[in-house]
Amino acid sequence: MELTINTYKTKDNHAIICIYTVSIALNQLFRAIFVLLKKNCSMAHKSGFVNIIGFPNVGKSTLMNSLVGEKLSIITSKAQTTRHRIMGIVNGDDFQIVYSDTPGVLKPNYKLQESMMQFVYSALSDADIILLVTEMGMAIDLHEDIIQKITRMNVPVIVVINKVDLAKSQEAVVEAMDAWQVRMPEAKIIPVSALHKFNQEALLTEVLEKLPENPEYFPKDQMSDKTMRFFVSEIIREKILISYKKEIPYSVEVVVDSYKEEEKIIHIEALIYVVRESQKGILIGHQGIMLKRIGTKARHDIEAFVDKKVFLSLQVKVLENWRDSDLMLKRFGYNQN
């Protein structure tokens, strides 16, 4: 107030206060433009966690592999093939999508399954977008529990109705979409066939639209959070799961004991753990023939994955009760705490 009274006394003072006022206004204007530009520059990049949740066998892993364009998760027709949370990262100049494949939702019977469910819960809690994957013909009612957990998270949800290639008719797909839309009015419903890569673009467009503005979480050349040792052990486990029925797939764990990379070849030694002596015999087979077959199949896939020649040595060991041992589960990377 003092300033105003004094400055209006003379012309000179008037001029000074005018310049002063204009300079303050300009200063504020430049600041606003600078903040706006800065905001636009840093906010133009989108990045977030897009977590894939659903029942066993609906095609979560197939979907993630297809979205990432690389076989990161193993796939078999057996439930509980995926035991970990596996991140698959898709990078663009102005975006980074961090997908997470997770184990299928189940009621745990032993500690391994409890740990598997912990991966699902962690994926629920840090999601920026949730992809709830279901398949054609699967009743919505079955999902009630998981729908309620997802709704509590308060993040955008995309319901992915997979395996539309198996649908009886186009009407059946529309009916399923309508029913899901009624149950989850806020969600976007997208029918896909992960196996045949049908409608992936629509899903990607929706994900990109819903992705929050953030800087990238991982270096732009990184494709997963998992190590080469992990992928190698998963490839070996996949070959065992495909080759055996009944209890062996659920009793087996694979650990890469040694991974030595030379210029032209990678030497890998892996241990296969089973829970019973009888399983060890079945896995090795007469004169080691079965184990040799698994080794050959696994080696081919590992060579394709690492793009190098591989020498693979497999050994089978019995480790009773590893699925209920906190210590072993921690060693195998299931218990995070």
Going by the annotation, the residues of the binding site for GTP are 54-61, 101-105, 162-165
> Binding partner of residue 193 among ligand GDP, Mg ion, none, CB under 5 to 8 Å per kind?
ligand GDP
Q: Which is nearer to ligand GDP, 104 or 156 (CB)?
A: 104
For 9, the enclosing helix (H) or strand (E) is none
> Binding partner of residue 25 among Mg ion, ligand GDP, none, CB under 5 to 8 Å per kind?
none
- Footprint on residues 21-60 left by Mg ion (CB under 5 A): 60
Q: How far is the CB of 198 from ligand GDP (least distance, A)?
A: 7
**Angle between helices 200-210 and 60-68 in degrees, nearest 10:** 80
Q: How far is the CB of 268 from ligand GDP (least distance, A)?
A: 24
Among 66, 82, 115, 279, binds Mg ion (CB under 5 A): 82
Q: Which is nearer to Mg ion, 98 or 316 (CB)?
A: 98
> Binding partner of residue 59 among Mg ion, ligand GDP, none, CB under 5 to 8 Å per kind?
ligand GDP
Q: Which residues bind ligand GDP (CB under 6 A)?
A: 56-62, 75, 77, 81-82, 104, 162-163, 165-166, 193-195
Q: How far is the CB of 244 from ligand GDP (least distance, A)?
A: 16
Rounded distance between C-alpha atoms, residue 296 and residue 277, angstroms: 23
Q: Which is nearer to ligand GDP, 47 or 162 (CB)?
A: 162
For 92, the enclosing helix (H) or strand (E) is strand 86-92
Rounded distance between C-alpha atoms, residue 44 and residue 29, angstroms: 22
CB 102 within 8 A of CB 123: yes
- In the DSSP assignment, the letter for residue 141 is G
Q: How far is CA 146 from CA 60, 134, 257, in A?
A: 15, 11, 37
Stretch that binds Mg ion, among 6-14, 81-89, 209-217, 275-283 (CB under 5 A): 81-89
* Sequence ranges of the binding site: 54-61, 101-105, 162-165
Helix residue spans in the chain (DSSP H) = 2-7, 11-43, 60-68, 111-125, 144-153, 170-183, 200-210, 228-243, 248-251, 277-284, 289-306, 326-331
Stretch that binds Mg ion, among 41-49, 61-69, 107-115, 154-162 (CB under 5 A): 61-69
Q: Which is nearer to Mg ion, 131 or 271 (CB)?
A: 131
> Binding partner of residue 62 among ligand GDP, Mg ion, none, CB under 5 to 8 Å per kind?
ligand GDP
Rounded distance between C-alpha atoms, residue 108 and residue 25, angstroms: 65
- In the DSSP assignment, the letter for residue 74 is -
Q: Which is nearer to ligand GDP, 58 or 123 (CB)?
A: 58
Instruction: Give the side-chain half-sphere CA count within 13 A for 148.
Output: 4
Among 61, 96, 134, 162, binds Mg ion (CB under 5 A): 61
Q: Which is nearer to ligand GDP, 88 or 104 (CB)?
A: 104
> Binding partner of residue 279 among Mg ion, ligand GDP, none, CB under 5 to 8 Å per kind?
none
For 267, the enclosing helix (H) or strand (E) is strand 265-274
CB 161 within 8 A of CB 187: no
Which residues lie near Mg ion (CB under 5 A)?
A: 60-61, 82
